[in-house]
Amino acid sequence: MNLPATDRRVLVSGASRGLGRAVARAFAANGDRVAVHYNSRRTEAESTLASLDGGGHVLVGGDISDAAGAARVADEAFAGLGGGVDVLVNNAAVNVRHPLPETPYAEWAAQWQQHVAVNLLATANLSHLAGRRMIDQGTGGRIVNIGSRGAFRGEPDHPAYGATKAAVHALGQSLAVSLGPYGIGVASVAPGFFETERVAARLEGAEGEAIRAQSPFGRVADADEIAAAVRWLASPEAEWASGTVLDLNGASHLRS
């Protein structure tokens, strides 16, 4: 299978800001064409699109939390990229605080439904849509999932987030086995805490000091560091990394 090194067609879900924006920029800087997906933050997604190097990029809006919406987004992205896809990065996710002792049951149930719909089912559905297109193209491809350190160490304040990210890791490993014969590599990254606009307030004061102290490096990651690993896992050179879950947490959590 001949996955190209540049000028690939790349769909990044949830790319309006934060890590999704950094991932989109990393692929564009590599000479790839990127479909920038967003759900509700169109203005921010337009800023992401405008910041990308090169040309041939496309903006794709839509709710991927249900199967029909995911199919519409995929179809629009593939068409905008010239009729296909070579790389899918499953980045879109929700992460809302809902610790069991403090959360009323109705809210608890709603949070679980939302986390499963966006973090897990959207990842599964986009992976099917992109994977089938890659199989039909016959040139291989890559799927990279954004997981989390929380899948391994637990997330007491965000249990549905931790559970769905663990499921995303398991999904990626299952797909790595089933798609390998078609030259399609599937891998996941498991970041620890990294700095984005969304969590900037948490990095101030005593809480920020405690978060940075989790790593022996005394800092948190930059989104560009995570994006660089995603780009490598999607590269032709990373085929033998298929099935891996790559820890990116600055030694803040070590697992056997």
Residues noted as catalytic: 161
Question: Whole-angstrom Cα distance, residue 132 to residue 51?
Answer: 30
**Beta strand extents in the chain (DSSP E only):** 9-12, 33-38, 58-61, 87-90, 141-146, 184-191, 194-195, 221-222, 245-248
Residue tagged 């891998």 (tokens):
187
Task: Enter the tokens of residue 108.
Answer: 């608890």
Question: Whole-angstrom Cα distance, residue 94 to residue 238?
Answer: 28
Length of the chain equals 256
Q: Say which residues have a Cβ less than 8 Å from residue 231's Cβ, sequence separation at least 6.
A: 23, 26, 27, 30
Task: Enter the tokens of residue 227.
Answer: 């994006």
Is residue 87 within 8 Å of 32, Cβ to Cβ?
Answer: yes
Question: Whole-angstrom Cα distance, residue 13 to residue 11?
Answer: 6
